[in-house]
């Protein structure tokens, strides 16, 4: 089985290596590079070729090749020295070249204006250095395949926090960075208590006082305007740090799903839940079997990985974290008749994630018995139960691999049931979600439509969905049908957060997800969403209000 033909261009641009013709060649190469025996090779091949499980892009691109770098996620420490800062930039460049994304916490860098002893000068601060990292990323295309991605983090207790929060205000600035503020419980407690006048920090040198309210309003304003900064919850992340004896975690990879220690890397892989639905029923045995296979697969990726620098090899092998996750969640729910924004739907998701995590732990335990625990096991949270991996589950964005698999990405709801896509020669197609199309025809049949008339009616609905992105206003369609086929924007933002929280309950690492808000959402809504996320125990949150980025572009255009 090959992926949908519309993704031919992705295959050739990203994954096909010299001499390879199609997806089967890729699966063969990857399975052979990883498997220890023929039986395992066949299992890996079958899981990928049936699009039921795919590893992250670097594994698909580089397994069995000279590059051999197989991980998507990296975090690099940035110390407060010129040497150290430029080392981090160089290390980042090497990682980008091989297809990985890098996360940096810039908080160790002394604030702008502080003294620099050796030169008698003043420091230029973390944001000025971020600008150099951004420029470096611009020039390194990853073997011509994709441009690097970075996460830039600043702790809420760093004196340059206000400048950081508004760093991306101007469209196009820091375009190779996602930026996130690392907030702690102490700060959130003050926000929850509405202690906005409280002085949060005093700047050295100038003595300028910054209040809780100034920071909070800056964050909320930024999110409302253009979706950034994202927020990371330091204490929640560290409450779940599996190896506290190795130090605290203050950094994540670019899309936020992997909080990692300095120099750690993580390899991701995602199970396509839609491929576990057989004739309208969910195949639990198949999910368990796939979870076991995937755990072994990802552990082998660590084994066979060619790490870009020695510190990364060392840190990664110490904890052996893997990131098993899901995609095609919304597709599977629709096939099973479960609404995304319902208790029943969430209960099912929670159950699925519980099964995956439990199975991954079991398999990691089995691997530990055979091959040994991860080296930092003693002193870790697993000290009473032998496992081979310090963390096993996550939810990645699955940006490219979900396109390959032809399924909805990660745990995101579908954006539109009909949309336009261009193929490589520029021909435009309207792609209609097959589950939606089938259910629509079924509904129309139930309403008494048949033959050409039914086709015509279906065409009307599809055109409407294609034009407006929704069919919630097509009043003659049953409420039940409309209730099921809701899109990301039809689903209230609170329900997005509830869904992220129900997955987070069983996910070891974190979750990459966008909380979509309508254009009409207010700053108060953004503030409330952040507080809700914190209270529900999320490790981070990303919000995007419809049209906000375009608004910025329009506003800029008007000024010209
Ligand atoms: P995939 O292409 O495998 O579907 P994802 O969209 O799931 O990848 O992203 C997983 C992780 O891979 C991200 O969180 C990030 O760390 C890394 N990543 C994503 N896009 C890029 C990119 N353009 N360059 C480098 N790393 C990236």
Query: Which tens digits make up the pLDDT trace of 244-264?
Result: 999 999 999 999 999 999 999
Asked if residue 426 is part of any domain, the answer here is: no
Same domain, 509 and 479: no
Q: Is residue 156 predicted with pLDDT exceeding 80?
A: yes
Do 176 and 137 touch, CB atoms closer than 8 A? yes
**Residues facing residue 105 across a β-bridge:** 77, 153
Cα–Cα separations (whole angstroms), residue 342 to 17, 333, 453, 506, 507: 44, 11, 33, 19, 20
Same domain, 313 and 448: no
Measured by CA distance, the residue closest to atom 26 of ligand 1 is 101
Measured by CA distance, the residue closest to atom 14 of ligand 1 is 255
d(CA 37, CA 488): 43
Do 203 and 253 touch, CB atoms closer than 8 A? no
Same domain, 252 and 108: yes
Lowest-confidence segment of 75-79, 230-234, 418-422 by average pLDDT: 418-422
Q: How far is the CA of 99 from the centre of ligand 1 (A)?
A: 8
Report pLDDT for 332.
98
Asked if residue 424 is part of any domain, the answer here is: no
Mean pLDDT along residues 154-178: 95
Same domain, 499 and 452: no
Report pLDDT for 115.
86
The number of domains in the chain is 2
Measured by CA distance, the residue closest to atom 2 of ligand 1 is 400
State if residue 148 touches ligand 1 by the CB under 6 angstroms criterion.
yes
State if residue 259 touches ligand 1 by the CB under 6 angstroms criterion.
no
Same domain, 189 and 265: yes
Query: What is residue 387's three-state secondary structure?
Result: coil
Asked if residue 539 is part of any domain, the answer here is: yes
Q: Is residue 112 predicted with pLDDT exceeding 60?
A: yes
Give the catalytic positions in this structure.
253, 255, 257
Q: What are the pLDDT digits (tens) for 515-558?
A: 999 999 999 999 999 999 999 999 999 999 998 876 544 444 44
d(CA 444, CA 478): 10
Q: What is the mean pLDDT of the chain?
A: 93
More confident call, 523 vs 145:
523
Same domain, 376 and 451: no
Report pLDDT for 436.
95
Same domain, 86 and 11: yes
Mean pLDDT along residues 477-497: 96
Report pLDDT for 59.
97
Report pLDDT for 426.
74
State if residue 149 touches ligand 1 by the CB under 6 angstroms criterion.
yes
Report pLDDT for 118.
79
Q: Is residue 342 predicted with pLDDT exceeding 80?
A: yes
Q: How confident is the model at residue 372 (pLDDT cuts 50, 70, 90)?
A: very high
Mean pLDDT along residues 400-421: 93
Q: Which of 190, 230, 203, 201 lies closest to 397 in space, CA to CA?
A: 230
Question: Measured in whole angstroms, how far is the alpha carbon of residue 530 from the centre of its chain?
Answer: 18
Q: Is residue 150 predicted with pLDDT exceeding 70?
A: yes
d(CA 93, CA 96): 5
Asked if residue 420 is part of any domain, the answer here is: no
- Phi/psi zone of residue 453: left (φ > 0), alpha (ψ -120 to 50 degrees), beta? alpha
Q: Verify cis geometry, omega within 30 degrees of 0, for the bond prior to 229.
A: yes
Same domain, 358 and 498: yes
Asked if residue 517 is part of any domain, the answer here is: yes
Mean pLDDT along residues 84-93: 97
Asked if residue 93 is part of any domain, the answer here is: yes
Atom of ligand 1 nearest to the CA of 102: 16
Do 41 and 33 touch, CB atoms closer than 8 A? no
State if residue 322 touches ligand 1 by the CB under 6 angstroms criterion.
no
> How many residues are given for the chain?
560
Q: Is residue 560 predicted with pLDDT exceeding 70?
A: no
Q: What are the pLDDT digits (tens) for 418-459?
A: 988 776 667 788 889 999 999 999 999 999 999 999 999 999
Q: Which of 278, 402, 399, 400 lies closest to 332 in space, CA to CA?
A: 278
Query: What is residue 372's three-state secondary structure?
Result: coil
- What DSSP assignment string belongs to 119-170? TTEE---HHHHHHHHHHHHHH-EETTTEE--EEEEEETTSTTHHHHHTTT-S
Asked if residue 120 is part of any domain, the answer here is: yes
Percent of the chain with pLDDT over 70: 95
Query: What is residue 473's three-state secondary structure?
Result: coil
* DSSP character at residue 103: E
Asked if residue 18 is part of any domain, the answer here is: yes
Q: How confident is the model at residue 14 (pLDDT cuts 50, 70, 90)?
A: confident
Report pLDDT for 555.
46
Do 190 and 534 touch, CB atoms closer than 8 A? no
Report pLDDT for 145.
64
Report pLDDT for 293.
98
Report pLDDT for 1.
46
Cα–Cα separations (whole angstroms), residue 54 to 30, 44, 290, 312, 325: 10, 9, 11, 24, 10
Report pLDDT for 326.
98
d(CA 232, CA 224): 17
Same domain, 505 and 365: yes
CB-CB neighbours of 64 under 10 Å: 18
Give burial (CB, 10 Å; 0-12/13-18/19+) of 290.
Answer: buried
Measured by CA distance, the residue closest to atom 11 of ligand 1 is 72
Q: How confident is the model at residue 116 (pLDDT cuts 50, 70, 90)?
A: confident
d(CA 543, CA 182): 15
Do 204 and 160 touch, CB atoms closer than 8 A? no
Same domain, 462 and 328: no
* DSSP character at residue 393: B
Mean pLDDT along residues 298-304: 98
Report pLDDT for 556.
43
Domain around 453: 432-484
Cα–Cα separations (whole angstroms), residue 57 to 187, 270, 397, 417: 37, 11, 12, 26
Q: How confident is the model at residue 414 (pLDDT cuts 50, 70, 90)?
A: very high
Lowest-confidence segment of 73-77, 139-143, 352-356 by average pLDDT: 139-143
Do 346 and 498 touch, CB atoms closer than 8 A? yes
Same domain, 515 and 439: no
Question: Measured in whole angstroms, how far is the alpha carbon of residue 458 from the centre of its chain?
Answer: 34
Same domain, 438 and 528: no
Mean pLDDT along residues 259-276: 98
Mean pLDDT along residues 33-42: 97
* Residue 124, token pair as written in the block: 């230029």
d(CA 450, CA 441): 9
State if residue 395 touches ligand 1 by the CB under 6 angstroms criterion.
no
Mean pLDDT along residues 111-137: 91
Report pLDDT for 559.
40
d(CA 174, CA 131): 7
* Residue 499, token pair as written in the block: 């869904």
Instruction: For residue 551, give the CATH number of its domain.
Output: 3.20.70.20
* Residue 266, token pair as written in the block: 């993580």
């Amino acid at each position: 089985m090959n992926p949908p033909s519309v993704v031919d261009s992705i295959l050739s641009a990203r994954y096909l290596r010299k001499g390879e013709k199609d997806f089967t060649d890729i699966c063969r190469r990857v399975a052979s590079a990883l498997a220890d025996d023929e039986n395992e090779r066949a299992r890996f091949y079958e899981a990928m070729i049936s699009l039921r499980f795919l590893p992250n892009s670097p594994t698909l691109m580089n397994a069995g090749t000279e590059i051999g770098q197989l991980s998507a996620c990296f975090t690099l420490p940035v110390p407060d020295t010129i040497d150290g800062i430029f080392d981090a930039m160089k290390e980042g460049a090497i990682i980008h070249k091989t297809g990985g994304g890098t996360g940096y916490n810039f908080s160790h860098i002394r604030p702008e204006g502080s003294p620099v002893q050796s030169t008698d000068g003043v420091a230029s601060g973390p944001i000025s250095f971020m600008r150099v990292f951004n420029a470096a990323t611009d020039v390194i295309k990853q073997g011509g395949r994709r441009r690097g991605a970075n996460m830039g983090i600043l702790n809420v207790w760093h004196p340059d926090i206000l400048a950081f929060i508004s760093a991306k205000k101007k469209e196009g600035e820091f375009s190779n960075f996602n930026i996130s503020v690392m907030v702690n419980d102490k700060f959130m407690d003050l926000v929850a208590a509405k202690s906005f006048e409280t002085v949060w920090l005093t700047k050295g040198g100038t003595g300028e006082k910054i209040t809780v309210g100034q920071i909070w309003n800056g964050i909320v304003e930024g999110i409302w305007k253009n979706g950034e900064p994202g927020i990371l919850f330091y204490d929640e992340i560290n409450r779940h740090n599996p190896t506290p004896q190795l130090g605290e975690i203050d950094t994540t990879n670019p899309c936020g799903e992997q909080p990692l220690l300095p120099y750690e890397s993580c390899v991701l892989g995602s199970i396509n839940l839609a491929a576990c639905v057989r004739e309208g029923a969910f195949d639990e045995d198949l999910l368990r079997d796939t979870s076991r296979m995937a755990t072994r697969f990802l552990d082998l990726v660590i084994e066979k990985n060619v790490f870009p620098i020695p510190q990364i090899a060392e840190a990664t092998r110490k904890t052996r974290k893997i990131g098993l996750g899901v995609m095609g969640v919304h597709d599977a729910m629709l096939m099973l008749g479960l609404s995304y924004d319902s208790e029943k739907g969430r209960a099912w998701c929670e159950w699925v994630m519980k099964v995956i995590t439990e199975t991954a732990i079991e398999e990691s335990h089995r691997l530990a018995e055979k091959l040994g625990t991860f080296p930092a096991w003693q002193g870790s949270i697993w000290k009473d139960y032998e496992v081979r991996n310090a963390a096993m589950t996550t939810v990645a964005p699955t940006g490219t691999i979900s396109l390959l698999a032809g399924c909805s990405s990660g745990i995101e709801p579908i954006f539109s049931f009909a949309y336009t896509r261009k193929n490589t020669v520029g021909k435009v197609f309207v792609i209609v979600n097959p589950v939606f199309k089938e259910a629509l025809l079924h509904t129309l049949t139930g309403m008494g439509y048949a033959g050409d008339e039914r086709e015509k009616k279906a065409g009307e609905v599809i055109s409407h969905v294609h034009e407006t992105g929704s069919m919630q206003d097509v009043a003659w369609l049953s409420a039940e049908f409309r209730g099921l086929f809701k899109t990301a924007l039809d689903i209230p933002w609170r329900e997005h957060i509830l869904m992220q929280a129900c997955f987070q309950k069983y996910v070891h690492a974190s979750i990459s997800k966008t909380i979509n808000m309508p254009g009409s959402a207010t700053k108060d809504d953004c503030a409330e969403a952040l507080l809700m996320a914190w209270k529900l125990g999320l490790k981070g949150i990303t919000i995007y209000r419809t049209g906000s980025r375009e608004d910025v572009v329009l506003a800029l255009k008007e000024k010209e």
